[in-house]
């Protein structure tokens, strides 16, 4: 069965996600497995809960070629960023066909909880660091298509959200 993702310009993607509480209930445990499946099925390397319709602060990731070692990051927070940045083109499973140049930190340290609620800290480099920053944006309702010449643009975000509202109105009529 194909898993349908929430896609731009749906305004749901613009919501700020909420903290996950522990211990995880069965529904959330199932959701994590569902997210792994959705990520692999759509050939993605990362996926946030909001992209499958849940307003929760968690994302899954697997940047390996084999795609057999999925990880989940719950209530994540970037606690350190390198000064070095790199601008590169990004795409998003929720914005098919669109690509935007985004400047990201080359190295970040992420604090998060695993599915047992245990607090962890991990350093990410390069592609994995980029992927984490992309997913962290989703948790706050931001998308890579909001960036302009590498930098996050509040105006572009706003103008796209206006387009989204129009879309919703049309959708409902």
Specify whether the CB–CB gap between 14 and 164 falls below 8 A: yes
Give the Cα separation of 139 and 135 in Å (integer): 7
The one segment of 7-15, 32-40, 69-77, 84-92 that binds Zn ion by CB under 5 A:
84-92
Instruction: Determine whether 135 is an active site residue.
Output: yes
* Per annotation, catalytic residue among 77, 80, 135, 164: 135
Nearest to 164 by CA among 5, 13, 43, 2: 13
Q: CB of 172: closest distance to Zn ion in angstroms?
A: 25
Smallest gap, in angstroms, from Cβ of residue 92 to Zn ion? 3
CA atoms within 13 A on the CB side of 119: 2
Please work out, in degrees rounded to the nearest 5, the angle formed at the alpha carbon of residue 135 by the alpha carbons of 51 and 107.
170
Return the number of the residue (105 or 130) whose C-beta is nearest Zn ion: 130
Of 59 and 112, which CB lies nearer to Zn ion in the complex structure?
A: 59
Q: Tell me how far, at minimum, the Cβ of 93 lies from Zn ion, in Å.
A: 6
Length of the chain equals 173
Residues that bind Zn ion (rule: CB under 5 A) add up to a total of 1
Among 35, 50, 92, 129, binds Zn ion (CB under 5 A): 92
| 22 Cβ contact list (under 8 Å, min separation 6) | 113, 117
Binding of residue 32 to Zn ion (CB under 5 A): no
Active site residues: 135
Residues that bind Zn ion (CB under 5 A): 92
């Amino acid at each position: 069965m194909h898993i349908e993702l929430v896609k731009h310009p749906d305004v749901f993607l613009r919501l700020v996600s909420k903290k996950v509480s522990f211990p995880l209930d069965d529904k959330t445990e199932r959701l994590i497995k569902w997210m792994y499946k959705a990520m692999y099925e759509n050939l993605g390397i990362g996926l946030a809960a909001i992209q499958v319709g849940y307003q929760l602060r968690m994302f899954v990731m697997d940047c390996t070629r084999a795609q057999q070692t999925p990880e989940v990051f719950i209530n994540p927070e970037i606690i350190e960023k390198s000064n070095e940045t790199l601008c590169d083109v990004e795409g998003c499973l929720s914005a098919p066909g669109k690509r935007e140049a985004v400047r990201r930190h080359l190295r970040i340290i992420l604090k998060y909880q695993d599915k047992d609620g245990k607090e962890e800290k991990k350093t990410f480099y390069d592609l994995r660091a980029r992927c984490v920053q992309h997913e962290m944006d989703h948790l706050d309702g931001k998308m890579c298509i909001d960036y302009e010449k590498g930098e996050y643009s509040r105006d572009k975000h706003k103008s796209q959200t206006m387009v989204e509202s129009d879309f919703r109105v049309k959708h409902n009529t």
